[in-house]
Amino acid sequence: MHAKYKIPGGKLVAVDLDVTDGTLSDVHIFGDFFLEPDDALERINAALTGAPVETGVRELAARIERGLDPSDALIGFTPRDVAIVVRRALGKSTTWDDHRFELIVDGPRTPAMHMALDQVLAEGLAAGTRGPTLRIWHWASNAVILGSFQSVRNEVDLEAAARHDVTVVRRITGGGAMFVEPGNTITYSLVAPGSLVDGLSYEESYAFLDAWVLAALNDLGIAATYQPINDITSPAGKIAGAAQRRLTDGTVLHHVTMAYDIDTNKMLEVLRIGREKLSDKGTKSAAKRVDPLRSQTGMSREAIIDAFLDTFRSRHTLTDSAPTADEIAKAEELVRTKFSTPEWTNRVP
């Protein structure tokens, strides 16, 4: 078995190995990394030999660390990087090239329906009835999208929300509240198998799954970067926020909401953004914290979305798709029984 892993910002690590009686054998790690002294490579290979094929990234890395001498120096790679490439060789960890993503350009739909479709598509991938999917959302109405664990009364001024015809819904992912308006927001979801982020921490997986959109923003002239844990930002201000949920089988639901244009006065009336929230953001003004894509590019929302999709297609495989009738029916039932109910919306009052 063979695999390669190009470490983001680092070196290439590769492996050839066999499997004998359910354990790793004849392991040979190689690549363009630096390693001192030379015989440290033998210690890495020996540490991996005999490991059961189901061993996870963390334990494989720990085996390597235990097998190294204190004076051994790994430069440009880590034991965890070696573990990831071993998992890839075994077919436990995958790359973007191993998957064909389905594209759904969706909507406009109600906020509750979008929440439901995210859950249905993720569960469909877990069940094997749908492939990995990129979905672009179009909103039918104004909304505040609460993170799964946020308090309604601490995040939203409900009187202002009613005055501005803003619906409050709760998603199944964590993170902060998002203020969205039709035509002023770009939202997308990625539904991907857990093997794609195998070995990555939650924080690392955020940047990994959005690397393509950062590249697209850079091509549009925006010096976009990830601000851990889940913000996409630029020198002019925050562009987007991401949220993520992993199902019990490892399936990843990852979605991002971007400000194309935004009525900051309305947003600040509806959202309760306090000083504590802004304390580590380098600003005392929530309005100055956000700088939308329209002001930074001068492009239409549709042109920006097209540019995003062009970048995704240039890096990964993407085919057109749509929600099936069964998926729509399941989502509508979830809207009725969960996402439009006061019990779900106010589960954290």
Query: What total of structural domains would you count in the chain?
Result: 2
**pLDDT given for residue 283 in this prediction:** 39
User: What is the three-class DSSP state of 153?
Assistant: helix
Q: Are 265 and 146 contained in the same domain? A: yes
**pLDDT given for residue 202 in this prediction:** 87
**pLDDT given for residue 200 in this prediction:** 87
Q: Which residues of the chain have pLDDT under 50?
A: 274-288
**pLDDT given for residue 8 in this prediction:** 75
Please identify, among 65, 89, 113, the residue that sits at the C-terminal boundary of a domain: 89
Please identify, among 89, 116, 133, the residue that sits at the C-terminal boundary of a domain: 89
CATH code of 164's domain: 3.30.930.10
Q: Are 287 and 184 contained in the same domain? A: yes
Please identify, among 72, 89, 106, the residue that sits at the C-terminal boundary of a domain: 89
> What contacts 299, CB < 8 A, 6 or more positions away?
220, 293, 307
CB atoms closer than 10 angstroms to residue 69: 10
Structure tokens belonging to residue 330: 């399941």
Question: Residue 125's domain spans which residues?
Answer: 96-345
pLDDT digits (tens, 9 = 90+) for 170-214: 999 999 999 999 999 999 999 999 999 998 888 889 999 999 999
| CA neighbor of 13 nearest in space, from 69, 71, 53, 57 | 57
